Amino acid sequence: MTSLALLFIGFSVFSAFALALTHFRREPYRDQGVARVAGLVLLLALGLLQGAHFALLQFGAGWVGSAGYRATLFIVAPAFYVFSQPILRPQAAAMPAWRIGVHLIPALGAWAMPGSLAMPLAFALGAAYLAWLARSLYALRQARSNFHLELLLLGVVFGLALAVTVLGLWGGAAPGRLFFSLYASAIGLAFLLVQVTLGLRPQLPVEVRDSAQAGYTATTLAKVDCDQALARLAALMQTERLYVDPDLSLAGLAGRLGLSAHQLSELVNDRLGKGFSRYLRERRVEAAQAMLLAEPRASVLSVGLSVGFSSPSNFYEAFREIVGSTPGQYRKLHAGPADRP
């Protein structure tokens, strides 16, 4: 069990570093700065915990008994909450700084707590945050068809978190080597499932936020001619190619259609079965597919930038997610004989 835990610890640290550099770039969280910082804090906290687990299992060091370890335990659940809240509850007002501070009070108190009390209390607090997460995910049940596989994988992550909570409540007062091996392995397995989920759908947090925005809002389309609005939307995309603007926003496009941002979000979600971000990426990828074949001498990078993607990484992620191959592979597969090298 110790060897498996050590492997999962190494994978966790590598994954935390990779996620910080890729998923938590500034651009995807352009209007979600607090969520981005909370996500990075969460990765750091999990990395520190795994470092303490490695020191114990490999060298017998007692870092897991330190006040710093206990405080870090109390940071994980609040950091995940602050990260998830703008995604799962986008209709809620931005969380003020004082409320974020309230969630950190237990972490400050952990420095003075004995280990026999701190660990069970940390896992009990985690159970409360898990209850909030379960309630929020249940509220998205109407959008489950859009995220069937992804929600299944995240459900397994939720199950792991629940198992760890039970394990912590049961053995946290007197944790032993086996407890920390299981805990480290659970963290590593959760990282693996998150990596698989984001590999399948890199923009999943954005798409969930779009669906949640539409799902939590009472219908705003009662006085809207939906068919006409969708026809205008298609016309704007086809004739004016608004998607080529990398700064095109939900509010900006809604203004062109004479709708509110809530109305356009609900329209795209309910009538097209996808979030606005997904819809916009599909339009850009569709245009890129045509351009890759129509202009065989154009570089892949120039194609991605010309259809509205703001960076090569965003273009490659979206293209691979939607088409199932890289832009270069798509061009080679579908180019005519005269265009092939």
Enumerate the domain spans of the chain: 2-206, 217-273, 278-341
User: CB under 8 Å to 130, separation ≥6 — which residues?
Assistant: 77, 158, 161, 162, 165
- Which of 193-197, 207-211, 291-295 is predicted least confidently? 207-211
- Which of 72-76, 113-117, 141-145, 183-187 is predicted least confidently? 141-145
Mean pLDDT of 26-30: 65
pLDDT top residue among 283 and 88: 283
* pLDDT higher than threshold 80 for residue 201: no
Contact assessment for residue 175 and residue 120, using Cβ atoms and an 8 Å cutoff: no
DSSP line for 57-123: HHH---GGGSHHHHHHHHHHHHHHHHHHHHHH-TTSPPPPHHHHHHHHHHHHHGGGS-HHHHHHHHH
The pLDDT assigned to 340 comes to 52
Mean pLDDT of 72-94: 80
Top-tier CATH class for 278-341: mainly alpha
The pLDDT assigned to 170 comes to 64
Backbone angles phi, psi at 198, to 5 degrees: -70, -25
Instruction: Give 287's pLDDT tier (boundaries 50, 70, 90).
Output: very high
pLDDT, tens digit (0-9, with 9 covering 90-100), for 298-319: 999 999 999 999 888 889 888 9
* pLDDT higher than threshold 80 for residue 135: no
Fold of the domain spanning 2-206: Rhopdopsin 7-helix transmembrane proteins (1.20.1070)
The pLDDT assigned to 7 comes to 93
